[in-house]
Structure 1
Amino acid sequence: MRSMGLDYGDRTIGVALSDELGWTAQGLEVIRRTTPEDDLERIGQIVREYGVAEIVVGLPKNMNGTIGPRGQICKEFADSLNRTLHLPVHLVDERLSTVAAERTLLEADVSRKKRKQVIDKMAAAIILQTYLDSKR
């Protein structure tokens, strides 16, 4: 059973998938956002192609734990995923996931241009791995 992790942003959606055993998360792709319908269609294609059974969406919280406007947008996106794809959708606190991804890429000496191309799918992998680890 594969799980999918999503880092939902204003311009892009980072996508990660778990292995079939649900132990590890790997970045898959970055979806360039166009319309909500097209975004959901691409996510649905990935769900069908890889046999995804559940989706994890990063929930950006404020440092004090409250949910701000960006968090509310992510909750609405998660609801639309659930209604459209009829799969369980879990929200996972994503505070500092992008910061952690950026730090990892810097430590690996990845160029600035390359970092921009992979940061979102790496953040999605961190979000998904957090969820997978919490299930064990």
Structure 2
Amino acid sequence: MSGSRVLLAYFSRPGENYFNGGRRRLTVGNTEVVAGMISRLIGCVVHRIEAADPYPDDYEPTVARNVREQNENARPAIANPPASIDGYDKILLGSPIWNVRAPMIMTTLVEGLDFSGKRSTRSRRTR
């Protein structure tokens, strides 16, 4: 992605998480680890999304909150939303997958940004 300005905005939760097929208490969330790898590989600006009301440290209460937020179509507040994405050619979004979808805080993020003039691309998986 050389020559283009890339923003990687991600949400990650440390604490009790799935790790290598089981649960483990992590000081750095899984998505943050992946965001760091991507950043080192492509040299992008990184913005960590933080919840205004932090998610619990334990896994089960986090899952319960997430299910409530999905059922209520909630928009959890972001403590530090990016001011603008105008200066970026490409925007990468990263998050965990909870209950088969991204947490609702990612919907808050996307709805709060102006993607006018941005082009959508899909990643392609090969088998």
Q: TM-score, normalised by structure 2?
A: 0.35
TM-score by length of 1: 0.33
Which is richer in helix? 1
Higher-RCO chain (CA-CA 8 Å, sequence separation at least 6): 1
Larger strand percent: 1
